[in-house]
C-alpha cells in the first residue's frame, strides 16, 4: 500500500473493482476543511444558507445540466458539510472530454479535463475517470471553491469525500429521509463541531 507523504498508510475508501461511472445511486458526503462552518447556520431546526451555502446549493443543482446522465436525489447543505444523492441513470462510454461545472460550452464541444497537476505539497492530484462519481464531485468542489474564495479567501474543502453505493430501495428511502431530516438532528450530528 502506498504511504501518504511517505508516512501514513491511508487505504482507499473506494470499493475495489467497482466502476464508479456505472449505473446506480451514490450517497455523497463532503466536509469543509477542519469542518469550519462556512455555509450558514441552523436556526429553529432549519438551515439558513449564507452566500457561500447558496453557491454550494446552486452548483449542486447544476450538475444534471453538465452531466445529463445524472439525476439528483435529496441533498442538503449543512453549516460545515454537504450530503447528497447522485443517481447515474445509464452506463455510457466516457467522452473524450469531461464537462466542467460553471462553464458554458456549445453543444458540440466541452471543456477538457486537465492532466494531473502537482499540488503545493509535491504530490499529484488524482485524475478521475470521465463521468465517474469522482470526476463529478471534483468538478463540483472546484467550481464552489473558485466562487467561494471570492467571499472567503480561505475557503477549502476537506481533501476527500465519502461515498456509499446505495444497493436497494429500502436503503435509498432511509438515506433520503436521513438527508431531509439532517437539519432537525443537527444537535446530535457527528459532523457538528461547535464554533
- Taking only the tens place, the pLDDT of each residue in 101-145 is 665 443 333 333 333 333 333 333 445 567 888 899 999 999 999
Residue 85 covered by a domain: yes
Q: CATH number of the domain at 71, please.
A: 3.30.70.1290
Residue 192 covered by a domain: no
Residue 149 covered by a domain: yes
- The per-residue pLDDT for range 1-22, each reduced to its tens digit, is 444 455 544 444 444 555 557 6
Closest to 169 in 3D by CA, of 20, 6, 25: 25
Whole-number pLDDT of residue 23: 87
Residue 5 covered by a domain: no
Total domains in the fold of the chain: 1
Cell of 91: 452506463
- The per-residue pLDDT for range 50-108, each reduced to its tens digit, is 999 999 999 999 999 999 999 999 999 999 999 999 999 875 544 545 556 665 443 33
Contact 189, 182 (CB under 8 A): yes
Whole-angstrom distance, CA of residue 85 vs CA of residue 160: 17
Residue 154 covered by a domain: yes
Residue 3 covered by a domain: no
Residue 140 covered by a domain: yes
Looking only at the bridges linking them, the beta strands covering 81-88 and 24-31 are: antiparallel
Residue spans of alpha helices (H) in 124-168 = 133-148
Structural domain span for residue 83:
15-187
Residue 193 covered by a domain: no
Contact 133, 28 (CB under 8 A): yes
Amino acid at each position: 500500500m502506498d504511504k501518504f507523504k511517505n508516512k501514513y498508510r491511508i487505504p482507499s475508501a473506494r470499493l475495489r473493482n467497482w466502476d464508479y461511472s456505472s449505473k446506480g445511486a451514490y450517497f455523497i458526503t463532503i466536509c469543509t476543511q477542519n469542518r469550519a462552518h462556512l455555509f450558514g447556520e441552523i436556526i429553529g431546526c432549519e438551515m439558513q444558507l449564507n452566500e457561500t451555502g447558496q453557491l454550494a446549493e446552486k452548483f449542486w443543482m447544476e450538475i444534471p445540466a453538465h452531466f445529463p446522465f445524472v439525476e439528483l436525489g435529496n441533498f442538503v447543505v449543512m453549516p460545515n458539510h454537504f450530503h447528497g444523492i447522485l443517481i447515474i441513470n445509464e452506463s455510457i462510454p466516457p467522452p473524450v472530454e469531461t464537462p466542467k461545472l460553471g462553464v458554458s460550452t456549445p453543444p458540440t464541444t466541452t471543456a477538457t479535463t486537465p492532466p494531473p497537476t502537482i499540488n503545493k505539497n509535491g504530490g499529484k492530484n488524482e485524475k478521475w475517470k470521465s463521468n465517474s462519481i469522482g470526476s463529478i464531485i471534483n468538478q463540483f468542489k472546484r467550481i464552489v471553491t473558485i466562487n467561494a474564495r471570492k467571499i472567503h479567501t480561505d475557503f477549502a474543502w476537506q481533501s476527500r469525500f465519502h461515498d456509499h453505493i446505495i444497493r436497494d430501495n429500502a436503503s435509498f428511502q432511509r438515506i433520503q429521509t436521513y438527508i431531509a431530516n439532517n437539519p432537525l438532528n443537527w444537535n446530535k450530528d457527528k459532523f457538528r463541531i461547535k464554533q
